[in-house]
Amino acid sequence: MKYKAFIGIGSNLGAPAENCEKAIRLLSASPGIEVVARSSLYESEPVGNIDQNWFVNTTVAIQTSLGPEALLEAVLEIEKAFGREQREKWGPRIIDLDLLAYEDRVLHSEALTLPHPEMTKRRFVLLPLSEFAGDYLHPIENKTIHSLLKELPENPQVRKISSTS
């Protein structure tokens, strides 16, 4: 059986746009994962620790035969392939992949919370996600991505830097 999930991707070290593109290619090459939609690339002001480079962000929709925990493991393996180390919260990173939502599943385990607990507060997630999943109904907020996006302030800034091809 195939399930739909959304993944957020971000980078602000090295070549951030190239890092995001490579992460999408690695997701596509992962067993049990098929990327079925992707957003444009966005540049976003850092949250929290602001003394760092702006981020490049994008989101993808995938079809997967993996369960949520196995999908999280696959995502963490891609981060490891980049040499990502867990350091400070909101700090600079070569790559960051977040499992945002898995169907309409609500899950609270030691390893994973679904939907991602911060996604409704992040313009750099909702704006790219709105390109292909604007009508997705958040299973806890009971609001669409479009509605959640309208409720957010304009800052921190997020601006489109390239469109999908």
Domains and CATH numbers, the chain: 3-162 (3.30.70.560)
Of residues 38, 93, 122, 123, which has the active-site annotation?
93
**Catalytic residue status for 87:** no
- pLDDT tens across the length of the chain (165 residues): 789 999 999 999 999 999 999 999 999 999 999 999 999 999 999 887 678 899 999 999 999 999 999 999 999 999 999 987 666 666 788 999 999 999 999 999 999 999 999 999 999 999 999 999 999 999 999 999 999 999 999 888 999 998 765
Q: How far apart are CA 31 and CA 100, in angstroms?
A: 19
**Catalytic residue status for 105:** no
128 contacts 98 by C-beta, under 8 angstroms:
no
Of residues 25, 51, 96, 135, which has the active-site annotation?
96
**Catalytic residue status for 159:** no
**Catalytic residue status for 93:** yes
